[in-house]
A and B are shown apart, each in its own frame.
Chain A
Amino acid sequence: MWEFCQTDGSLDLFGWLVTARISIFIEVIDMITPTTQFTSTSTMGVYEPIHQISMWDDTFGGTISPNTDVCIITQADAKLDDKCEYASDRSLEPAEDNQTAKSIRDKVQRRLAQNREAARKSRLRKKAYVQQLETSRLKLAQLELELERARHQGLLIGGATANMGLCGNVNSGIAAFEMEYGHWMEEQQRKNSDLRNVLQSPIADVELRLLVEDVLEHYCNLFRMKRDASRADAFYLVFGMWRTPVEQFFLWIGGFQPSELISVVMPQLENLTDQQLAEVRNLQHSCQQAEDALSQGMEKLRQTLAQSITTLAAGAGSYSSQVVSTMEKLESLESFVQQADHLREQTLRRMSCILTMRQAAKGLLAFGEYFQRLRALGSLWAASPRKFT
């Protein structure tokens, strides 16, 4: 569960609600001195809807129940009114000490009345705000639905980064991929939960194997989806355009870097034999060599493209042989994306061979959770306001 809080000290929604809450608390504490009796909630027209108060109670761990709050206030109101009337009737009482006590009482009553007023206004504001939120939420749901429909019809290119300025390009292959990826992520969350549940119970290896195979297969589905999408637009895949910027920071040729991932997952695994440790180390070493090879190939691609661009004639038409050969070089990016995914798949499979079923399940869970957290961090970053100094 991620919570979004302001870091610059300004009073946001939460702060505002806490302030409103505090004013109610002050009122309640003042009311504790006279005897209190509980009246029914039907007398409190101003204080509905009460369920909203209880919701905020849950958020802030308030210890006073909403009914108690409001009942005390009503009862106290009644009592105070009585007192006020009584005080005005008795305004002619001359005694000195009564005078001081009375002025103190007046001050207290004035303060209490002001508090009550402030609390009431605060509650009304909160009610209005919540209603506004509800309508906005409905509107957002409608907009999302329209957007989904439009994407499905290949009219838009979406993705986490809105500032890429590619909206003029219609690419149904990419639109299809984005939709599929959304479903894939949801399915992935479910599989992570399954892994979590299963690992908490003593379960036979043969059943664990089924789950592990299922999760691996799910990753293979992703690689297959990416392969299809890379035919539509390899650059989209390489830069992970469907991901948040924070996730993109960690990308290696359109996805996770296998050797890095082994480093992340290994500390989460227990009881590895010396043999297993040696094999994992070998695997990581092989991954690094393979990654270096592919990275160098990419670098070579950049160099040859750069040369190609400098030699392009100024007035070269789109179909001149130079342009065609340059375009062909660009197409070779697709094979790098595919080889990178292939490497990822091989690494996952090899890890699950080296590890026992239980270790593999734990590893896959750690892997899945890592990416969930990374994505959540990315969303948080994208949603939080930037400071301008």
Chain B
Amino acid sequence: MHYQTESWNSYLPTKPPTTDSLQLILRLAAENAVVIFSKSTCCMCHSIKRLFSGMGVNATVYELDEDPREKEMEKALIRLLGSSSAVPVVFIGGKLVGAMDRVMASHINGTLVPLLKEAGAIWL
């Protein structure tokens, strides 16, 4: 894919979301069984972290605000989710689960635990 960065820059002050940043996200997501993209100041992210740790899951957390690649990762996540908030986002077994409401819904309807077991994140 090829972006016209010059014409883009004339309309927006920031860099466009490139496939590179999306690839980065997906690559990071595939490296561990459970990956959470978060921000250290976000309290909903804190909730999701507590949810997984409460279930005995040792999740890999990327705090965007402590990462130099914050801006592009944020944009990629927003694009991926189609929502206004980039974090929190959860990947299990390299596949996108979603934001807080999707995680909650899957936990309540009983699909989260099997997913975690399949990814090897918990054993029972």
Contacts and interface: CB of A to CB of B under 8 A. Distances in A.
A347 interface: yes
Nearest to A332: B43
* Most chain B beta carbons < 10 A, residue from A292, A297, A301, A304: A297
Contacts of A296: 46-47, 50
A282 B100 CA distance: 20
Given A293-B51, A293-B54, A346 B44 contact: no
A211 interface: no
B50 A282 contact: no
Interface string B100-117: 110011011110000000
Given A304-B43, A342-B104, A297 B50 contact: yes
Nearest to A296: B50
A290 B107 contact: yes
A349 B105 CA distance: 10
B101 A342 contact: yes
A: interface residue count bin: 20 to 34
A353 to B, nearest CB: 8
Contact of B105 (A301, A329, A346): A346
A292 B52 CA distance: 11
A292 B107 contact: no
B6 to A, nearest CB: 33
Interface string B44-65: 1011101100110000000000
Interface in A46-76: none
Nearest to A293: B51
Interface string B74-94: 000000000001000000000
B108 A290 contact: yes
A287 interface: yes
B7 interface: no
A346 B43 CA distance: 22
B41 interface: yes
Given A297-B44, A300-B46, A332-B44, A346 B51 contact: no
A162 B105 CA distance: 37
A304 B41 contact: yes
A102 B109 CA distance: 90
B108 A292 contact: no
A66 B66 CA distance: 85
A335 B42 CA distance: 11
A350 B50 contact: no
Contacts of A301: 43
Interface in A288-304: 289-290, 292-294, 296-298, 300-301, 304
Contacts of A287: 108
Given A289-B55, A292-B54, A339 B46 contact: no
Given A292-B54, A342-B101, A335 B108 contact: no
6 contacts: A279-B110, A283-B108, A292-B50, A293-B51, A304-B41, A346-B109
Please provide the 9 A-B residue pairs with the shortest distance between their CB atoms, ordered closest to farther: A297-B47, A293-B51, A346-B108, A301-B43, A300-B46, A296-B50, A293-B47, A300-B43, A293-B50
Interface of A: 279, 282-283, 286-287, 289-290, 292-294, 296-298, 300-301, 304, 329, 332, 335-336, 339, 342-343, 346-347, 349-350, 353
Given A290-B108, A336-B43, 10 more contacts: A283-B110, A335-B44, A335-B100, A336-B44, A339-B44, A339-B47, A343-B108, A349-B109, A350-B110, A353-B109
